[in-house]
Amino acid sequence: MLLRLLYLLGLVLLTLPATAQLAENFADGDFSQNPAWVGDAAAFQVNAQQQLQSNGPAITGSQIQLATPQQAATGTTWEFWANLRLATSSGNLADVWLMSEQADLKATANRGYFVRLGGTPDEVALFRKDAGASPVYVINGQDGTIGSTTNNLVRVRVTRSPANVWTLERDLTGGRTFASEGTATDATYQRSQYLGVLLTYSAANNRNFYFDDFRVTDATPPQLVSATAVSATQVDAQFNEPVAASVAANSFRLGNGVVATAAQPDAADASLVHLTFVSSLPLGQSTLEVRNVADQFGNTAVGPLTATFRFSGALVTPGVNQLLITEIMADETPQVGLPASEYLEIHNPSATNQLDLGGVRLLKPGSSSAAVFPAGAVLLPGEYAVVCANTRTAQFTGYGKVFGLTNFPSLTNTGDQLLLRGRDGRTLFEVRYADTWYRDNRKKEGGWALELIDLGNPCGGAENWQASLDASGGTPGRANSVQAANPDRTPPQLLAAVALTATRLRLTFAEKLDSTLASNPALYRLQPSGAVQSAAAVPFDFRTVELTLSAPLTPNQPYTVQVQRATDCVGNAAGPVTSATIALPVPAAVGDVVINELLFNPRSGGYDFVELLNRSANYLSLQGWRIARELPDGSLDAHNISSEPLVLAPGQLVVLSERPEIVQAQYPNSHEATAFLPPVSLPSLPDDAGVVAVLDAQNRTIDRLAYTEAMHLPLLDTRDGVSLERIRASGPSTAANFHSAASSTGYATPGRRNSQYQAEPGGDKQFTLEPEVFTPDDDGQQDFTTLSYRLDAPGYVASVTVYDALGRLTRRLVRNETLATTGFFRWDGLTDANRKAAMGYYVLHIELFQPNSGTRREYKKTVVLGARL
């Protein structure tokens, strides 16, 4: 009887707050109360040995769980006993969750830490689980420790120090003679809601999991992490764990003896305490002293705990570029070292002004909602802070000041536009990033932040950002690892001008402008005639200016728009005049715009491209046009070329590609960057054969090219990365008018004149052979000879045969082909067997037949096939 009383007394002592926050040995034979475990209750039982035993459905692949409320997180020890009477594997294992955000341990979005027993390595290991991600090791235990096929007995102890150092220990006899599995530091999650077990098993093992002696102890008092002045009479005290719901105001005082008049834990984050003082804070540096503050488990920090902070006086509302985004973590996986979570870093570049962020909005253009900084949010002079989703705040508390915001925007990995806007709606800061800004193909795959290089050049784009150099992947809450002088001394360049309507023009510059100066209509002039009535810099990035004219433009007439003095946002001014040509476009006719070059079989890691040519004499609008692939069933897979105004001048080329920067990198010496449009989604182009079409805004087919890989020069070692080029601009979109790009230009010329370009022949002869000496070596110079014809009427039928100097048949070039009045045939120097013909003289025998009249004519042309020595 005495032993029984002592045992019960022990149970009572285990439940005292300062000793243990959870003690469960199932001695009451029930897991539904004291404490209450919830989940798959029907799949568990308390057996006669007063142990929690699995009793789930005998179905392979089952997962069952139980969880109980448990909030201890730091300065905590977890202990439990388990016996897995089975052979562990990837389909037979137990996850004991020490810290879980949700009661549903199976939830994909759940986060926290758990100990895995078994698995493929048959180990005892500590894992961290991030939302939507697979678990990752915190401590990788020794393989084979859970190696029995019938009896895997183990007691596990896990400790987490206030400094976030984890220790994993186990005793394979079930006793308390623990052996270490290792230590590691991980501060990702600072909050917990539940503890529980999640079991995965095959049908034969549904009753073979046993647990007992769960014990969670937090005997460590809270620690003061930081103090921040948020107004003249308010200070925020940040602790490393939630504090008791009731804290005494007199536990907090300043170094000068002034005691707080109110202390209130934050409703969403109980580790943050808002303090109020009756008098204004002293200017400069102060010390906050804390005494006798307890955590939620009764552990009291007697103190004094201290933290210093600065108060710089009255708060200032930030102006343009007075609040900066200095770091962007858009792609958090694979994890390198930082928490696996998207975040931004903001910075106050002022040395004196304390910024009032209350009401400042973070958003993406076009978004229906914004993330709003709360009242009282302050950024001190020179201070950095992390901005993240309000559900991710705990992951970044170890990095300094954190603002966890509701509606934090999702950051697109490949690129996005972000705005900070003031309470009055003004744009304070704008950045439009892209994954090319990393300047490192490995780092852009994830886990690394983009960092601003020169804080004094806030308007800089790609040239002022790069991937972090810090080994952890970024520097949230502190100065950037890439920080260096990188000033902008270049005046803004006018890139393009386009007519939106007959009276509205849009000018696009290479960088952000001073929006006030750019909105002065006196800076703009139109030649040969026309007056600018008004000008407006377009938000949000202020790289464009829209002009309203006092009189409409004449269609298809080129004008010159002049800018007297453009000034960028850091004060660099252009010279006295910069200019661009502009025209009001006219409707296109079929065949006005043609496919001029096509890459459908790119190199490894490369991308397709389509080059278009305006071969008309008119200015044409491509807005609303589409590039399409004709599918075998006749339907079209069509993709937009440009939803924005885009005018193509006579003779102008444009290149369409999903990744323009990669195409340019693979053809560094033979591309024209200014001809590339922003990334365009292309239809999938098969490597063997396909049909590409260009559709206008009315869905008319303007051009159509049926291509095959057989159109390439057969002598090529490989066709990968070799484009097909149009030979004559005015010629038809047929195989005869395309040839493989020359090797001397790198096998493609995106945005430049084709290496195989051939001008229309002059004169009025019926047949013209040019050149008369050719060298088919794919170097872009006389790679083939062209037989051009100009006939007196349509309807002739032609056959063209090539013979060598001894009269032997070499190539049947054309057989009974009906001709238009003008056109051409080409011979690439190959025989009918697709072998290169020998050097020497050859005769092209031409036979013409007019079916209507029965007229027959014969012609001969001589050509020399040579070689470069």
- Structure confidence by residue, pLDDT tens digits, 18-44: 345 789 999 999 999 889 999 999 999
pLDDT at 334 over 90: yes
Distances (CA, A) of 127 to 133, 347, 693: 12, 34, 53
Examine the domain organization and report whether 16 and 40 are in the same domain: yes
Number of Cβ within 10 Å of residue 328's Cβ equals 22
- Rounded distance between C-alpha atoms, residue 584 and residue 587, angstroms: 10
Whether residue 691 sits in one domain with residue 556: no
In a domain, 505, yes or no: yes
pTM over 0.85: no
Tell whether 636 and 733 lie within a shared domain: yes
**The residue type at 231:** S
Looking at the structure, tell me whether residues 124 and 188 fall in a common domain: yes
Residues 234 and 209 in one domain: no
Residue type, 356: D
Taking only the tens place, the pLDDT of each residue in 64-111 is 999 999 988 889 999 999 999 999 999 999 999 999 999 999 999 899
Residue where a domain terminates, one of 311, 333, 364? 311
Domain harbouring 508, CATH code: 2.60.40.1220
Residue 299 and residue 169 share a domain: no
pLDDT per residue over 433-483, tens digit each? 999 899 999 999 999 999 999 999 998 888 999 999 999 999 999 999 999
Residues 6 or more apart whose Cβ sits within 8 Å of residue 753: none
For residue 637, what are the CA distances in angstroms to 14, 684, 689, 733, 841? 69, 8, 15, 20, 48
Q: Given a cut of 60, is residue 1 above it in pLDDT?
A: no
Give the Cα separation of 188 and 205 in Å (integer).
34
pLDDT for 282 equals: 86
Extract the tokens encoding 72: 């201890």
Quick one: 133 and 159 in the same domain? yes
Confidence of residue 157 (pLDDT cuts 50, 70, 90): very high
The residue range of the domain holding 512 is 500-568
Q: What is the pLDDT of residue 3?
A: 35
Decide if 754 is inside a domain: no
DSSP-derived 3-state class of residue 794: coil
> Is a pLDDT exceeding 90 seen at residue 692?
yes
Residue 837 lies in a domain: yes
Say if 773 falls within a structural domain.
yes
Q: Other C-beta atoms within 10 Å of 674: how many? A: 11
49, 148: one domain: yes
Query: Would residue 485 count as lying in a domain?
Result: no
Angle at 692 between CA 687 and CA 698, to 5 degrees: 155
For the chain, percent of residues with pLDDT exceeding 90: 69
Residue 587 lies in a domain: no
pLDDT tens by residue, 414-430: 999 999 999 988 899 99
| pLDDT, tens only, 536-564 | 988 877 889 999 999 999 999 999 999 98
Mean per-residue pLDDT for 790-813? 88
* Residue 314, pLDDT score: 72
Q: How many domains are there within the chain?
A: 6
- pLDDT digits over 718-761, tens only? 999 999 999 999 889 999 899 998 887 899 999 999 988 887 77
* CATH number (domain holding residue 630): 2.60.40.1260
For residue 763, pLDDT beyond 70: no
* Tally of CA atoms within 13 A in the half-sphere of 249 that contains its CB: 14
62 plus 120 within the same structural domain: yes
Mind listing the pLDDT tens digit for each residue in 565-613? 888 888 888 766 788 999 999 999 999 999 999 999 999 999 999 999 9
What's the rounded Cα separation, in Å, for the pair 654 and 440?
28
The CATH number linked to 94 is 2.60.120.200
**Given 218, 235, 270, which residue is the final one in a domain?**
218
| One domain for residues 300 and 345 | no
My answer on whether 37 and 100 are in the same domain is: yes
Domain containing 790 — which CATH number? Answer: 2.60.40.4070
758 inside domain? no
Residue 821 has pLDDT above 90, yes or no: no
Each residue's pLDDT tens digit, 203-256: 999 999 999 999 999 888 999 989 988 878 899 999 988 899 889 999 999 999
Q: Are 356 and 378 in contact (CB under 8 A)?
A: yes
Separation of alpha carbons 309 and 488, rounded Å? 34
Confidence of residue 12 (pLDDT cuts 50, 70, 90): very low
Q: List CB contacts of 300: < 8 A, sequence separation 6 or more.
A: 221, 292, 293, 294
Q: 607 and 650 share a domain? A: yes
What is the distance between the alpha carbons of residues 488 and 463, in angstroms, rounded to a whole number?
9
Q: Under a CB-based contact definition with an 8 Å cutoff, are residues 154 and 115 in contact?
A: no
> Exposed (0-12), middle (13-18) or buried (19+): which is 305, by Cβ within 10 Å?
buried
Q: Quick one: residue 318, left, alpha or beta (phi over 0 = left, psi -120 to 50 = alpha)?
A: beta
pLDDT over 50 (residue 7): no
Most confident of 472-481, 507-516, 562-571, 792-801: 472-481
Is residue 489 assigned to a domain? no
Q: Of 254, 277, 311, at which residue does a domain stop?
A: 311
Q: pLDDT-derived band of residue 850, with 50, 70 and 90 as boundaries?
A: confident
Taking CA 594 as the corner, what is the angle to CA 592 and CA 597, rounded to the nearest 5 degrees?
Answer: 155
